[in-house]
Structure 1
């Protein structure tokens, strides 16, 4: 089994003087263990500074500069409730957390769908009741992986739907920040010819 690298997620909030609902930011992923550590925060700050210096972030996006104060840790879902309630987090950080979890759930649903795909003709035959199972389909249906695979798909979809229904909707703030950033990068890179 391939071992996943440990990562920590942060949001660099651009203008701390704005109200939480108006704040924009950049979602950052850094390699590192331990979550919200000084070392990981330094890596996140270094990454956002590097992006800023390379022109990936508009200079005016961080009007007061970039410091550790702009960096907010986005705890993984299993740590939710340990450090801070969602209501205590800035909305953009809540949105970042939700996007990260929704992405993980989407990957689980897609992986489960790929596993269950060979069983789709069996499921269709059983639900539609328009034909009997072929001998090969009967053998596949008898395999102990058949039931577990279909159940895994159901659990993955149900978990994703439950989480979507619980989301605050602040994930849109991340999309807004991305769109704004892309707009700033393109408008800032235009040149005039004489």
Structure 2
């Protein structure tokens, strides 16, 4: 009976340690992008903007984000809310919603941004209010809160000029 109790205690301790390690791994994986941003800014070295998986590049003052799926979310990351583009890495983010907006690539090659936050997103100086969407063009300036970011958008025409076949990138997840 004593041996059974030890096994239960040992199993419980192993389970707790396993959960703790898995939580730590998740946290480290979530922090990986932030550390890569810091390394790139210190060394001045970063990967080229476009490769065969990159559909668009969002370039801020400090950070560059590669859009590699047809839909990405923009906002302010918290420990409970992970998003694709963490705008808080650019600076003060108190006026940015946790889920400020979504950028989508449509089948015709157009990029649209939909505002899902309470405050407006400004595209080339024009406000996009909550619940509205706007077509992004190449080198559109996207501003949220006190944060401004220039987005370079490769259109379908530009991608096909570079030799990409629409079937190879439109259906990517």
TM bucket, shorter chain: under 0.3
Computing the radius of gyration over CA atoms, which structure comes out larger, 1 or 2? 1
**Under a length normalisation based on structure 2, what TM-score does the superposition of the two structures give?**
0.24
Higher share of residues assigned helix: 1
**Under a length normalisation based on structure 1, what TM-score does the superposition of the two structures give?**
0.22
Higher share of residues assigned strand: 2
